[in-house]
Structure 1
Amino acid sequence: MLLAFLIGLSFASTLMLVYVMSKSRRHVQLMQMQSSVIKKQVQELEESNQQLAFLNQEKIQLLSLVSHDLKGPFNRIFALAQLMNMANENLNQDQKELLGKIHQVSVDALNMIRNLLDTRRLDEKRIELALGKLDFANVVNSFVKHYRSLAEKKNIEIHLQVVGDTIIHSDKNYLGRVVENMLSNAVKFSDEKKKIECTLTRKDGVIEFSVKDEGPGFSLEDKQKMFQRFQPLTARPTGGETSTGLGLFLIKSIAEKMGGKIILESANGQGSKFTLELPVQKTI
């Protein structure tokens, strides 16, 4: 009786061992299959990433090529429009209006091209500041004078107030890019017969340049995404100008690169005030 019990127990143990080994073998086979699938998916992902990297590099090169190739012709159009405008006494009113539109379109296109090139430099971390001592007021006056001629075509007045010492240690080129985009946006999004108030002041080791317009302002939703690139906002240009969605992204990025910041005060339907705040001495 005991012998029969032991034989039965041994047989049951053998069956159990066979079952466990069989199950373990299936588990190993399943793991191998899963590992093979994962390896294949990783390989496909790596190939996709390589293809995306190649396409992205191709896009960057194409963008650079097109931007540089377009910049030259538009610069010449802009220069010719300015020369014709300086000697416009023989033009009738319709011709003067057409000349004004050519001037506006060329300025708009050049600013768009510069924004695309600056965005590419930011992406590639190739923006290097050439710091030097300069008068911020001279930079502002130059761009205010330029944009007054464009604003006049929409019967918009641009006023500038400069208070105190405006000497700053900064990069003239990129400082100008921020000022240009701030003024461009104010003119672009303002309706006819409005006013734009510009103020340049120095206080407590910083210099502030502000541009206040009487445009549509920004909604709460706009404020949450306005400094991101290519983001559509509620406000639209009022004179047929183009908008790439890069201007606000660039002024914030460049301001921070120069050790400053952009401050926005705005309410929907009540205009906007953008302020560029920069340290008088930029340290790197």
Structure 2
Amino acid sequence: MVDMEPFSLKIIVVIAAGISLIMGFYMLLIHWNTVRVKGPMCWAAGNLLIGIGLLFRLISPAQGFCATAVPMLLITVGLYIYLAGIWQFKEKRIIWWIVIGIPAFDVFQSLVFFYLFPLNRIRVGLHMLILIVYSIMAIYEMLRLDDSKRYLRNIFRLNAISFTAFLVLLLVGVVVVLNRPAYTSTQIGNIWVIAFGIAGGIMTALTFGFLSAVNLQLYTELEGQLKSKTKFFSIIAHDLRGPVGTIMNFLNLMNTEKDLQEEEKLIFMEKMEVLSQSTYHLLQNLLDWAHTSQNLASFEEELIELNQLVASNIEFFRSLTQMKSIHLEYHNGEEAYISGNVKMIETVIRNLVSNAIKFTPKGGTISITTENNLHGVRLVVEDTGIGIEHNRLNRIFELENSRSSQGTEGETGSGLGLALCKDFVRKNNGTIHVESTVDVGTRVIVDFPSPV
């Protein structure tokens, strides 16, 4: 294997590089035609860098840093950019110090152990260790999926097998380097070419796996959009038309019935105020939802002090809580900073408080708490309302399973609010879950990570 003719090595390099470059350009095509799916751009850049790194082996001198180290470094950078694509596809925050920092360390150690302290085995060993770290992180990401992407579980498991094969190949390489100290730089370089030729086949399998994942995600999104459109029209037809029609009837009654008492008029005005606020809230949800569905919402992140945001938003509901004689408590601790989109976080707060008011009877209590913990910031909205049946708890965040429910005073709803909350919390790297007991109350817990 070590004495393989240069022509044979060139064939291996050309095949592996060609596969990576073709896959890179194909991923670019996917990116240009499916801008909603995140990840293909990084996968394209990663594949192209791997292809360029392998081709660099053909045009570089037979000896020296360019021949032995540069191709491996380009491939390392490509693989870590590939990892960034996996994070993007899973809608996770890209850890840039890993994507940039580890390859930068590889460049640094390669220069040091090539020019200052020519220790070839240490240089190659550290390089392989960096690739092993990459493989372990990639396998972990393939096996760890949240519920929103559970439909990708089988594809990602197959990808995890490919990454495991790549990891095994690297471990075999470590054994070869440690047990064959007599190998020259050129011989080790040739071994690397063969190894990455095999790795090229593994990366091809991975790329096809990710292409399948992209296609499946697009299909799932299309299916979700069709369900969303049906839900949208049902909300307009029922949940929006109902309260507007009721307000019109009240106004008509107040205009035509001249002998109405002042107390009766005040009752009608109260009911219209409740209906108008719930209708406004529903319209706001519909607008937020429509913007998100059409990818028009702004996802720019900024540093948010959650206490201030909660305090300003719950003032909107003061009149509603007073009408239902609900005691609204807000317990805020020290300053609680998160990184996210203000409009989305406001929508989450409004929906959680609105739901609590809707399903809490007169004389009840709603408690809102914000607190810092080891992992970030926690927001808790707790009420003494009617609660949720146990068999509904797992489905309340799913749009297709959501249904309109009347509140304790006949308030209307769309079933859209919690689905929107789940989506917005996830987009801001948080988690949300509900604990509830019928006729006792409900507790909604939202956790946001600490800002980077």
Name the SS of the counterpart of 1:182 in structure 2.
helix
Structure 1 residue 106, shift from structure 2 partner? 1.7
- Asked if 1:217 is matched to 2:396, the reply is no
Q: Partner amino acid for 1:199?
A: T
Distance 1:245 1:93, change over 3 A: same
Structure 2 counterpart of 1:206, from 370, 376, 379: 376
Structure 1 residue 117, shift from structure 2 partner? 2.3
8 Å contact kept, 1:148–1:157:
no
Higher normalized helix content (fraction of residues): 2
Number of residue equivalences: 205
Tell me how far apart the structure 2 counterparts of residues 216 and 101 of structure 1 sit (CA, whole Å). Answer: 21
Over residues 153-209 of structure 1, what are the superposed CA-to-partner deviations in whole Å (9 max), with x where a residue is unaligned?
Answer: 011110000012223222111110000000000000111110111101111141111
Partner residue in 2 for 1:278: 448
| TM-score of the superposed pair, with normalisation by structure 1 | 0.64
- Map 1:222-241; keep pairs closer than 5 Å: 222-229=392-399, 231=401, 236-241=406-411
8 Å contact kept, 1:209–1:276:
yes
Q: Partner amino acid for 2:445?
A: T
- Map 1:1-284; keep pairs closer than 5 Å: 93-229=263-399, 231=401, 236-281=406-451
Give me the CA root mean square deviation: 3.1
Name the SS of the counterpart of 1:225 in structure 2.
coil
Q: Partner amino acid for 1:101?
A: K
Over residues 101-133 of structure 1, what are the superposed CA-to-partner deviations in whole Å (9 max), with x where a residue is unaligned?
Answer: 332212111111122222233333433322112
Q: Which runs of 5+ in 1 are unaligned?
A: 1-51, 78-91
Tell me how far apart the structure 2 counterparts of residues 157 and 93 of structure 1 sit (CA, whole Å). Answer: 24
8 Å contact kept, 2:405–2:415:
no
Tell me how far apart the structure 1 counterparts of residues 271 and 404 of structure 2 sit (CA, whole Å). Answer: 25
Tell me how far apart the structure 2 counterparts of residues 234 and 270 of structure 1 sit (CA, whole Å). Answer: 21
Distance 1:235 1:242, change over 3 A: closer
Higher normalized strand content (fraction of residues): 1
Tell me how far apart the structure 2 counterparts of residues 130 and 143 of structure 1 sit (CA, whole Å). Answer: 20
Tell me how far apart the structure 2 counterparts of residues 97 and 138 of structure 1 sit (CA, whole Å). Answer: 34
Tell me how far apart the structure 2 counterparts of residues 97 and 197 of structure 1 sit (CA, whole Å). Answer: 28
Tell me how far apart the structure 2 counterparts of residues 234 and 149 of structure 1 sit (CA, whole Å). Answer: 23
8 Å contact kept, 2:404–2:413:
no
Tell me how far apart the structure 2 counterparts of residues 211 and 272 of structure 1 sit (CA, whole Å). Answer: 8
Name the SS of the counterpart of 2:401 in structure 1.
coil
Over residues 42-61 of structure 1, what are the superposed CA-to-partner deviations in whole Å (9 max), with x where a residue is unaligned?
Answer: xxxxxxxxxx99xx6xx69x
Distance 1:105 1:164, change over 3 A: same
Structure 1 residue 146, shift from structure 2 partner? 1.9
Distance 1:93 1:135, change over 3 A: farther
Distance 1:107 1:230, change over 3 A: farther
Tell me how far apart the structure 2 counterparts of residues 208 and 135 of structure 1 sit (CA, whole Å). Answer: 12
Bigger RCO of structures 1 and 2 (CA < 8 A, at least 6 apart): 1
More off after superposition, 113-122 vs 171-180:
113-122
Over residues 240-271 of structure 1, what are the superposed CA-to-partner deviations in whole Å (9 max), with x where a residue is unaligned?
Answer: 21110111111111000000011211122221
Q: Partner amino acid for 1:242?
A: T
